[in-house]
């Protein structure tokens, strides 16, 4: 029986955080034996904001190295670079012609990003969801791991696919959301009401996968908690402590009840250092593998070239079917 297809990716901007690891990559690792997995470096999506070309290129390589260092086996997963697969942008143009302006106007992420980048409100920001739809549909992906901030993008992808299918007959698989029960949203250390961001300007708000042990401990010491000095899981009233408990729970594979019992006679200082140590222990082998890959560019290149080849093979046939149905000569 054919395996179901999963497609996901991370932009080549900023530095990957423990939020990316716990909320995405760690969950992907659990899927690699059960599904046909495609994980892309979404460098084309990164172009909606201005980037230093050399920095963008280097960050793309870092993401690939971190994917593998975190546990994504390149023999079981197809790890590829989005811009290396022309079918993404070819299908994106076709889907633009089946997407309505009103649908794109309703996208909250366009409004949010426009507010953040008021000096660069480009058409790429506006049509970003169509390229994302093409990313998904060109693989006939059955499942797409999404967080709360991406659900609207998956909804418009489903609408576009259903619209196309209703006109031309069954062409695209209608993708479903794959939502992990744990680790979906790791919040910021300084602002536990907002998701931890790899592009944050406040470096104390995020733990990056390449942070040193000293940096991790310093950031945890400064993490926002509250005045109660009581380790208890209560997202509404204790968002900072609850966020640290979520991180510790996932790092140590402990329940919230067990964590509360462990620290019932201890203060936030001890708890924060325990969280820091759990992160440091988890990242030590990751960073070792990451440094090995970054010092071996040929091995890194071989990983994404293998993924690129499989992605091209997978997507070319689907694009041919689309072109044939809409009347293009192939």
pLDDT digits (tens, 9 = 90+) for 138-173: 999 999 987 766 788 899 999 999 999 999 999 999
pLDDT, tens digit, 9 for 90 and up, residues 4-14: 999 998 888 77
Backbone angles phi, psi at 138, to 5 degrees: -70, -15
Q: What pLDDT, on the 0 to 100 scale, is given for residue 205?
A: 96
Q: What is the pLDDT of residues 15-57, one digit of tens each?
A: 899 998 998 898 888 889 899 999 999 999 988 888 888 999 9
Q: Where are the beta strands (DSSP E) in the chain?
A: 5-11, 36-42, 77-81, 143-145, 176-178
- Residue 105: the pLDDT is 85
Stated pTM of the model: 0.89
Give the contacts of 159 (CB within 8 A, at least 6 positions apart).
103
Residues forming the active site: 113, 195, 198
pLDDT of residue 60: 93
Residue-wise pLDDT for 273-297, tens only, equals 999 999 999 999 999 999 999 999 9
What is the C-alpha to C-alpha distance for residues 92 and 17, in angstroms, rounded to an integer? Answer: 29
- pLDDT value of position 58: 92
Quote the pLDDT of residue 115. Answer: 66
Q: Please state, rounded to an integer, the average pLDDT across all residues of the chain.
A: 91
Rounded distance, CA 15 to CA 32, Å?
A: 24
Cα 325 to Cα 98: distance, rounded to the nearest angstrom: 14
**Are the C-beta atoms of 315 and 138 separated by less than 8 Å?**
yes
Q: Match 């299918």 to its residue by tokens.
A: 165
Rounded-to-integer distance, Cα 236 and Cα 163, Å: 40
**Among 151, 210, 191, CA closest to 175:** 151
Q: Which domains does the chain have, with CATH numbers?
A: 5-179+297-326 (3.40.50.620), 203-291 (1.10.240.10)
CA 240, CA 230: separation in Å to the nearest integer?
A: 12
Q: 77 forms bridges with which residues in the sheet?
A: 37
Which tokens belong to 171?
């062409």
H helices, E strands: number in the chain: 13, 5
Q: Which is it for strands 176-178 and 143-145: parallel, antiparallel or unpaired?
A: parallel
Residue 51: the pLDDT is 83
Taking CA atoms, 29 is separated from 63, 302, 326, 330, in Å, by 15, 20, 38, 38
> What pLDDT score was predicted for residue 238?
96
Structure confidence at residue 182 (pLDDT): 60
pLDDT at 237 over 70: yes
The predicted structure's pLDDT at residue 157: 95
């Amino acid at each position: 029986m054919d395996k179901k297809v999963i497609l996901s990716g991370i932009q080549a901007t900023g530095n990957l955080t423990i939020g990316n690891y716990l909320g995405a990559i760690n969950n992907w690792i659990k899927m690699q034996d059960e599904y046909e997995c495609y994980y892309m470096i979404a460098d084309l999506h990164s172009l909606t904001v201005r980037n230093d070309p050399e920095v963008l290129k280097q960050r793309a390589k870092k993401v690939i190295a971190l994917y593998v260092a975190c546990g994504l086996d390149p023999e079981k997963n197809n790890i590829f670079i989005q811009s290396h697969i022309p079918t993404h942008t070819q299908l994106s143009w076709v889907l633009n012609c089946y997407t309505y302006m009103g649908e794109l106007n309703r996208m909250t992420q366009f409004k949010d990003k426009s507010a953040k980048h008021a000096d660069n409100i480009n058409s790429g920001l506006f049509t970003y969801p169509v390229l994302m739809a093409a990313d998904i549909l060109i693989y006939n992906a059955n499942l797409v791991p999404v967080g709360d901030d991406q659900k609207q993008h998956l909804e418009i992808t489903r609408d576009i696919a259903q619209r196309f299918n209703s006109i031309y007959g069954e062409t695209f698989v209608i993708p479903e959301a794959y939502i992990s029960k744990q680790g979906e949203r790791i919040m910021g250390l300084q602002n536990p009401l907002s998701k931890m961001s790899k592009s944050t300007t406040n470096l104390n708000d995020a733990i990056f996968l390449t942070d040193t042990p000293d940096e991790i401990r310093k950031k945890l010491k400064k993490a926002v908690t509250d005045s109660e000095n009581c380790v208890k899981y209560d997202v509404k009233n204790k968002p900072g402590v609850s966020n640290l408990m979520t991180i510790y729970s996932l790092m140590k594979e402990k329940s919230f009840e067990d964590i509360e019992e462990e620290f019932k006679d201890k203060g936030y200082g001890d708890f924060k250092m325990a969280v820091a140590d759990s992160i440091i222990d988890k990242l030590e082998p990751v960073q070792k593998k990451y440094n090995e890959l970054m010092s071996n560019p040929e091995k890194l290149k071989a990983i994404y070239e293998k993924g690129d080849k499989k992605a091209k093979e997978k997507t070319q046939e689907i694009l041919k079917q689309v072109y044939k149905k809409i009347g293009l000569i192939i």
